[in-house]
Chains A and B, each alone.
Chain A
Amino acid sequence: QLQLQESGSGLVKPSQTLSLTCAVSGGSISSGGYSWSWIRQPPGKGLEWIGYIYHSGTSYYNPSLRSRVTMSVDKSKNQFSLNLSSVTAADTAVYYCARRSSSTPEDNWGQGTLVTVSS
């Protein structure tokens, strides 16, 4: 059974970089056709899709965040990562990782991790 688990710093200072990792278990990050997404949800608000990355490193970022987002993959550790630079309080959210493909929605989600931006 595929499982995803987010980890990373829960508190980030304004202007710094938010860094999160999603560990994949019960399946390979290189399994055919799938890519790996990040989605976030500010407290009490709706869902915002951040982007995705393939095991090859090919990625797509939401234009609203593109200038600040970098995603990467570590196939040896079966995990992928999100970096978001120059954060502000507006980046405070629960961050989720998930599996997707070009023809399927996000079908397996991690439990989410809360990141708070505050000095």
Chain B
Amino acid sequence: GESVGLHLPTLSVQEGDNSIINCAYSNSASDYFIWYKQESGKGPQFIIDIRSNMDKRQGQRVTVLLNKTVKHLSLQIAATQPGDSAVYFCAENTDSNYKLTFGKGTLLTVNP
């Protein structure tokens, strides 16, 4: 059978509900974090970022929360729409050459 590692964590929500996607990052020295959205067959698209001197940042319908104590990042999407269906993954910058370390991602499915 398939390896468990091939299956992404999945979040299924109803249209109009709020979604919360979580990410545990690895390095306590990371000072910059990004959320990306990747639709099927497309490249990752920047959604929102946050620096380590902040604990919350808001965009249009999206909010990123950073908890440095437990090395946790979350993405909140308000009033989720079918067009929000995609894989969402976080990234952290731990390198001065602007290299990013990416999470594996969460598949968000929005049911009409």
Whether chain B is bound by chain A comes out as no
Chain A: residues with CB nearer than 8 A to chain B? none
